[in-house]
Amino acid sequence: MPFVDFFPSQTPDVISAEKELLIGWSLGAHLVLKHACSVNAKKVLLFAPFLYFCDHVNKKLLDRMILAFEKDKSKVVSDFLHNIGARAYNKNIPDSLKSGLEFLKVSKIENFAKKDNYYCVCAKKDFLNLASACNKICKKPIIVNSNHYFSEDTINDIIKKLHKALV
């Protein structure tokens, strides 16, 4: 998890270790794209990727989240998880997640050359509406009936289908 288990500067080391299938979700997918030159995996599967977060969310919303985080980080994380349809986060919430919000405001990928081994999963009910980003990243995005959060069953089904299609 970015800003919890590792920081953006460590991304090349984290993603270069995978040799078969590298999976990234949301900010993790963005970091994979940002450091694509470090990818060694045969296949890259990106869930809800974006090139620039603020193409989909107003910076003012991030600013409000940052201010709210300073007052009650548990509420900010809880509200975010609720909005994306995810489970509650029961671990201690590190202050480093605030840096992640700041990072979302500035991290931008200007040009990304589509790669044959990159696959994007875009959700119909995602509040970010990432279809345009997915079309810029891969040749044929996989569209699923989900929100921004993907269940483990959905992820496993997509991996199985991807594996069958490529074998």
pLDDT in tens, 130-158: 999 999 999 889 999 999 999 999 999 99
Q: Please answer whether residues 139 and 114 qualify as being in contact, where contact means their C-beta atoms are separated by less than 8 angstroms.
A: yes
Tokens coding 57: 């969310």
Looking at the chain, the whole-number percentage of residues with pLDDT higher than 70 is 98
pLDDT at position 114, please? Answer: 92
- Angle in degrees, CA 87, 130, 81, rounded to 5: 15
167 falls in which pLDDT band (50, 70, 90)?
A: low
pLDDT score for 35 = 96
- What is the reported pLDDT for 109? 97
Residues facing residue 116 across a β-bridge: none
Query: What confidence score (pLDDT) does residue 166 get?
Result: 66
pLDDT at residue 113 greater than cutoff 70: yes
Identify the residue whose tokens are 């349809």. Answer: 85
At 92, is the pLDDT very low, low, confident or very high (cuts 50, 70, 90)? confident
CA distance 98 to 69: 7
